[in-house]
Amino acid sequence: MSEIPLSALSLTLVALLALSGFFSLSETAMMASNRFRLRHLAQNGHRGAQVTLALLDRTDKLLGVILLGNNLVNSAAATLVSVITIELFGEGKWALGIATLSITFAILVFSEITPKIIGATYADKLALGLGFLLTPLLRLFYPVVWFVNLFAAALLRLLRLSPTPEQESARFSPEELRSLVLESAHLIPAKHRTILSNLFDLNAITVEDVMTPRAQIEILDIDRPWDEVLDQMGTSHHSRLPVCRESLDQLLGVLALRRVLGEANRGPLREEAIMDLLSDPYYVPAGTAAFTQLAYFQENRQRIGFVVDEYGDILGLLTLEDIIEEIVGKFTTSLPGLDNSLAWDTTGAALVEGSRLLRDINRMLALDLPVDGPKTLNGLLLEQLQDIPEAGVSVKIAGVAIEVVYTEDRSVKTARLFRPHT
């Protein structure tokens, strides 16, 4: 080796360290690249993404050529350092020991840690170009890679760790996808992120969570004096009204008020004419998932349904808009005189109606009141106190102090919530 200049050996060593760094960078960048982004680019005709995906679909071959090159280069670098050391200092053990430590340090800093940090930081950008370099290397060394992978595959089968196509492709559970959406604040607008998050939650809530409770349903009782019936139809803020006799227990159908206008143009409205305009009521079993019911509404071309329990008793009214609001948020329009806002005042308290849904309270006041039982604040208080409370009674639920302000007709009409201390 004495005929080879020392400068040439040194340059060769630097080249080997650079090649080792290239393989380390390639390994990290290819494995850390976002495959979903690559698939999106590949579907749009990006050649670099297509080449990179083709390599990532053969992970064993890709890692085989990278690690083969990396280990060969590192071994050559270690051997070359020994040759340079012997040329300079002879075959002394202390010299070879220092040379070994030196090349280990150089490989760690210049060929492993630094390139891998760069590869992990700029994985998506680097992967698009690395595919063009690694593909010809894989073709060149394919026989060697294939031979080595025979032993690796046999060892994996022996350990019962053979990868399957399902394991190699990234699969996310709904909870993982929801976390991915929530963590992508810098990529998705806040409104879009909220809608996607609500969509994931839609299967976790039932129709009882979003329906209008029975006590709050506006009904059209045709047994009342006819003048009152006509006046209610003319002043109602709803587009559809449940028509019944005395109560919802004798439900006759649903009346679309816009259809009444055409009938009114033909002459005085009579009960018989109203009965002819009724649509058959559509019933929804209690416990149905809200997302499932959205699909049922679409399949049956319905917009309104009555939630019934196992005995057939009506629990509440559910509309298509109720479910849509769970996805996109509450609409800006509301009934005149109805204030849906809810917030803490300057003293850290909030006055809340007993009929308010617990899910709405939790959302608006950032609380964590239990929602796996009663759906309203009134129901929660009655369940906790096991009695009809009087005004002034207080209770603490889920860390929230609640004071009953007003009760009437065996229910809590108003309660005051106090913001929990953090």
| pLDDT tens column, 311-363 | 889 999 999 888 888 887 765 444 444 455 788 888 889 898 888 888 888 88
**pLDDT band for position 308 (cuts 50, 70, 90):** very high
Residue 172: pLDDT band by 50, 70, 90 thresholds?
A: low
| Predicted local distance difference test score (pLDDT) of residue 176 | 65
Checking if the pLDDT of 244 tops 70, the result is: yes
Whether pLDDT at 170 is above 60:
no
Q: Residue 333: what pLDDT?
A: 45
Least confident of 6-10, 64-68, 241-245: 6-10
**Residue 116: which of 151, 66, 80, 68 has the closest Cα?**
66
Of all residues in the chain, what percent carry a pLDDT higher than 70? Answer: 86
Say if residue 231's pLDDT is above 50: yes
> Which one is the CATH code of 349-418: 3.30.365.10, 3.30.70.1140, 3.20.20.140, 3.30.465.10?
3.30.465.10
What's the pLDDT score for residue 307?
Answer: 93
Mean pLDDT of 282-311: 90
Q: Are 251 and 221 in contact (CB under 8 A)?
A: no
The CATH number of the structural domain formed by 207-328 is 3.10.580.10
**In the predicted model, what is the mean pLDDT of the chain?**
82
pLDDT at position 22 is 92
At 195 the pLDDT is: 72
Which of 318, 358, 342, 340 lies closest to 217 in space, CA to CA? 318
pTM of the model: 0.56
pLDDT at 336 (0 to 100):
45
> At residue 336, what is the residue type?
P
Distance CA 307, CA 284 (A): 5
pLDDT, average across residues 273-300: 89
Cα angle 6-9-14, degrees, rounded to a multiple of 5: 130
pLDDT band with cut points at 50, 70 and 90 for residue 283:
very high
Q: In b/e form, how buried is each residue of 25-50, taking b as 16+ CB within 10 angstroms?
A: bbbbbbbbbebeebeebbeeeeebbb
Q: Strand order of the sheet with strand 394-397?
A: 349-353, 411-418, 400-408, 394-397
Range 243-263 average pLDDT: 85
Alpha-carbon gap, residue 378 to 348, rounded angstroms: 21
pLDDT in tens, 378-397: 888 888 888 888 888 889 88
Average pLDDT over residues 57-66: 87
Q: Give pLDDT, residue 284.
A: 92
Looking at the DSSP bridge assignments, the partners of residue 316 are: 213, 307
Is residue 4 very low, low, confident or very high in pLDDT (cuts 50, 70, 90)?
Answer: low
Percentage, residues of the chain above pLDDT 90:
11
State the pLDDT confidence band at 117, using cuts at 50, 70 and 90. Answer: very high
Mean of the pLDDT values across residues 296-323? Answer: 90
Task: Round to whole Å and give the CA distance between 369 and 371.
Answer: 6
Residue range(s) occupied by CATH 3.30.465.10 in the chain: 349-418
The span from the CA of 102 to the CA of 141, in Å, is: 30
Residues of the chain with CATH 3.10.580.10: 207-328
Beta bridge partners of 403: 394, 416
For residues 218 and 240, is the Cβ–Cβ distance under 8 A?
Answer: no
